[in-house]
Amino acid sequence: MGYRNYLGVIPKKEYNKIKKMTKEELFSYKNEDIEDGYVGPYKIVDQIYEYGKYCEFETDNYFSKFFKNKELSNYMLADHDFYIVQKEFLEMTINNYNERIKKYYTKMLDGVEDMLENKAMTFEKQVELYDHIRSMSSEWLQLTPYKLDGRPSITTSWKYEYEIFELVRIYKTFDWKKNIMVYYGY
């Protein structure tokens, strides 16, 4: 499956209980054996969004360490990303998705405009246009890019064109006064 990146949430009350814990205290709090147990990010925060395998945006300027205890922080960061992020991080990722979508569609439109002006569309652009149409149509013909079940998410698609709306939903509904947002990966 590979390393994936996520957004998570933890209530501020819970965060304030654990942020200064030692490694031993956290393991005990999570009912894990310090020798044989394991406490990963998914045992600490609730997932609210999956970025997937590849996050191609600059993240370092937006991160704050989650744990105050140096040993515990180093333990968590040895094999994971596990950082507190603010609203600006979410805004940056939304803008990043927006730019990717614009760039992609501009590139495809260039090929179509060439064709409409009776210029030859390169085979590469023809294939790219066909692949895009096939990929987008599969979202509707073979799958459904949304679910009407009880989950808060509005899309099941991994396409930037749809996922951007999931990020906007989170941006507009996240309760920053009561919760901490976390960027994590494992």
Pair (50, 14) in one structural domain:
yes
Pair (67, 96) in one structural domain:
no
Q: What strands lie across the sheet with 46-52, from one edge to the other?
A: 46-52, 5-11, 179-185, 81-85, 64-65
d(C-alpha 91, C-alpha 95), whole Å: 6
Pair (115, 80) in one structural domain:
no
Q: What percent of the chain has pLDDT over 70?
A: 99
The whole domain housing 23 covers: 5-88+175-185
Dump pLDDT digits (tens) for 4-44.
Answer: 999 999 999 999 999 999 999 999 999 999 998 899 999 99
- Strand partners for 9: 46, 181
Pair (100, 36) in one structural domain:
no
Cβ atoms of residues 34 and 24 within 8 Å: yes
